[in-house]
Each structure stands twice: as C-alpha cells, then as structure tokens.
Chain A
Amino acid sequence: MSLLRIARVGRRFATGTEALRDASLEIAAGDFVALLGPSGCGKSTLLRLIAGLDAPDSGFLAWGDGAPAPGEIGFVFQDATLLPWATAAENVFLPLRLRGMAWAAARAEVDAALARVGLAGFAGARPRELSGGMRMRVSIARALVGRPRLLLMDEPFAALDEFTRHALQDDMLALWRDARCTVVFVTHSIYEASFLARRIVVMTPRPGRIACEIASPLPPAPAARFSPEYAALVGRVSGVLRAEMA
C-alpha cells in the first residue's frame, strides 16, 4: 500500500525560479528511492516538500496513514549538523527529547541507535572528537532513533572521502534491510544512486521535473558494487541522464 502519493506538485520561489513542475511520485512502505539529478533539478525542494518544511504551490501530497506527526520523519542533511556542545548520545537523544521524552526512558533506544550505526563505544564523545564519517553516523542515528515512518536523506555522503563514503553506503544498505525503513535519498552521484536505491528517479533542471524512473535489478548487498550488473546499471542510468539533458 502507498505510504505517500505526490501528485502533480509544483513549486516556484519568490525569486521566480521554477524549482519543481508537475512532479508525481508514489512511495510505498519499505521503498528505497533515489532522487538523482544535477544541481538545480529540484530534488532537494521535493525532499523539503515531503518533509513538510515547505509547501507546494500546486498539486498535493497524500499520506496513506494521515500526515506524519512530529518525529515521524527522519532527516539527514549534507552536513552532520550536530550540536557541537552535546555528546553523541545527547545528539541522538535530541529528537526524543523534543517530543517530551525523559532521558531515563530514551536511554535504551539511544544506545540501540548508536550501536546500529557502529558507534556503541562513542556515546560520550563530542562532535569535534569524531571524524567526518563518524559524525555522519551520529547524524543517521539521530534520524533513525524515533523509528520514523520515512527517512529523508539530502546528499548525506557528498562531503565525505571516498573510502568513508563506500563504508557508509554499505552500512546504509544493511540498515535499510534490517530496520525495514522507507528511504528517499537525494544524490547527484549516478554511482551512489545505482548502488543504493531500488528505484532510481531521474530529475532534470529548469524547470525541475521528474524525467523517468529506473528499477534496480541489483541485490541490496555490498558485493553488488563489483558485479557486471552494477556496471550495466550505471551505464544505463548515465545514458538516460544524457538523453534527458540534451
């Protein structure tokens, strides 16, 4: 059943830029959707509309189970955006705290979220004591801690080095498989979209619109990165992008 139906959504900013035109997309529970496209194609705008941080000028969003309550959407930004004065555990606790939960009640869930991203031993560490990749892991744990209905990620690995990026992509796949969450993942990397997503939604700029969708035939596993099917998928997505941009 459909988690979210996005119907002919448009958004034009006060500057006159048409960020999004007639975008339609259906997201089912358990999906892993990548929004792929170059800068200015409206993928981040679409993500903000889904999060409810912005409202469309035309069209509508219909939630299968009613609009999400506070905390039912997890959001991971391009930067880790942690509170620099708070420990890793306090940062992960933040969403629960904002929803009125006490530390004693939240503690087990915070520890579990940190363990899930491989940071079990770093609960007391401050952001400046952590590497960029570890900070991003804390940020992912913060987004997952309330068991959100939908996890939105806006180019979360774009600022990391390639080794860290690969490790986090592998872990993201495992998280998605094990935690059974629904993910919408914005990226401008053809490789990242092809490796991670089950559905690759290609977007084009000026005005931002959804060009087409490609279903991934790959298994959700790190080994897929080295398979000929992966190479073929990357080639196919690149071809589609080039054709759409022309």
Chain B
Amino acid sequence: MTRWPPILAGVAALLLWQGAVWASGVPAYLVPGPLAIVRAFLDAPALLLGSLLSTLVVTFTALAVSTGLGVGLAVAITASRWARAAIQPWAVALQVTPVVAIAPLIIAWVGDPFTALVACATIVAFFPIFSNTAIGLASPPGELLDLFRLNGAGRWATLRLLRLPAALPYFLAGLRISGGLALVGAVVAEFVAGAGGFASGLAYRILESGYRLQIPRMFAALVLLSAAGIAINAVLGAAGTWLLRRRGEA
C-alpha cells in the first residue's frame, strides 16, 4: 500500500509541530500550532470560505479564458506559418515576464478589479495550454496526413478529424499544469491588488491577517489555498484520465 505512508508522515509532522509549540511555549503570533489554526478557521469559516470562493472564481475564469485563448492560438499557429511567426515570440515573451512585475500595471490600466485579476491569472496560466496544444496539433505522423490528403480532406476536416483529437492528451496535460498556475496567478494578482484595497480573495485575507497579527488565521487561509491547489490538480488529472480511458487510450 502506497496510500498510507504520506498520510502517516503528515499526521506525525502535525503531532510533532503541535508538541513543539506546546513544549516551547512560543506565542501564537509567531508560530501557531495546528490546533490554533483549526480554531482560527472555525472562528470565521464564512469569511475564509467566502474568500476562497472569490479566489476560485478568478482562478476558473482565468482557466477558461486560457483554454479558449490557448487552443485558439495553437490552432492559428498550426494553420498558418504567418500566424506562427507573429504569435510565437510574443507568447514566449509574455510567459517569461514575471507576473508580479506587470500586475500593478494591469491593475492600474484595467478599471474593473475582477477583470484585472483574471487578466493577471490568465497571463500565468495561458502558456502550458497553448504550447502543449500546439505540440499535440503537430503530432500526427506524416503518413496519416498523407492518408487524409489522398482522400481529398481539406484543412478543416484534417483539423477536426485528425489534429484536434490527436492533441487531446497533450491539451489535458497542459490544462492540469495551467490549473495550478491559474491559482498561483490569481493569488499573486490579489496580493498586488490587495495593497490597493479592493480585493476579497484569500491572498487579501493573508495580507490582512498579517497586518493585524492574526497569524493563526493567516495560516488557515494558507492551508485553504494549498488544499484548493491540490484539489484542482487532482480533479483535472482525474477528468483527463477518465476522458482518455473513454477513448480507449489510457
């Protein structure tokens, strides 16, 4: 059984952590124990879960936009050498620019805070979907492309019946990576925006708790954040496996 070791190790670490906090008598505003963190969550569950929801809405909106944009641009660069030359370098430029550095600009330029957060998260999440899908669209072997040509298939039929289905496993792998990145992007943007004072996401709770020295609540928000990331990864992974298995490929 490989299910139990990580759980046991986690429980042991929590016990050690709580024990160390008790034994040393370190104040909760420096290092809160796991029990204090749970208590902080139970003190304000609606507040924290509301913030989680706010962050998740930004995350999934950004993921949806990234999917549309990533797949659309991947199809464009596969279809046309011009589009490839025009798009590829800028996509890479966007990918290597740290979002923390451009988030203040975006937040200043885009009036609507929700749109600004989604834009930042999309910049971070877009690239894996885009580049993976592009690789997948180019993955069919030359023989299959020849077969389509021999039977008079045009670009559209080749895209629909060959390139897009062939790209599905690549796209799903990209989507899984982008899911985690969208959350990271949303949180980074919230941190930057939080300083401006119009956000309500988990990152804002972390900042706020920090200012007020409510360190257990800060940790509770952090735990929610990483749980959300793990859940997104697991759900997207399972959905991908299910889809591929249904096609008889996994």
Contacts and interface: CB of A to CB of B under 8 A. Distances in A.
B153 interface: yes
Interface size class of A (residues with CB under 8 A): 20 to 34
Nearest to A87: B248
B247 A85 contact: yes
Given A94-B161, A126-B248, A128-B249, A81 B147 contact: yes
Interface in A190-237: none
Contacts of A87: 248
B248 A98 contact: no
Interface of B: 141, 143-144, 146-153, 157, 161-162, 165, 168, 247-249
Contacts of A73: 150
Given A71-B151, A81-B144, A81-B147, 17 more contacts: A70-B150, A70-B152, A71-B150, A77-B147, A81-B141, A84-B249, A85-B247, A85-B248, A85-B249, A94-B147, A94-B151, A94-B161, A95-B147, A98-B148, A98-B151, A126-B248, A126-B249
A129 interface: yes
Contacts of A53: 146, 149-150
A32 interface: no
B90 to A, nearest CB: 31
Majority SS of interface residues in chain B?
helix
B151 to A, nearest CB: 4
Contacts of A129: 248
Looking at B147, B168, B249, the one whose CB has the most chain A CB atoms below 10 A away is B147
Given A85-B165, A128-B248, A95 B151 contact: yes
Majority SS of interface residues in chain A?
loop
Contact of A81 (B143, B161, B248): B143
Contacts of A85: 165, 168, 247-249
Contact of B161 (A51, A84, A98, A99): A98
Contacts of B249: 84-85, 126, 128
A70 B152 CA distance: 5
Contacts of B157: 98
B152 A71 contact: yes
A53 B146 CA distance: 7
Question: Lowest 10 A-B CB distances belong to which pairs?
Answer: A70-B152, A126-B248, A98-B151, A85-B247, A77-B143, A81-B143, A98-B153, A95-B151, A71-B151, A81-B144
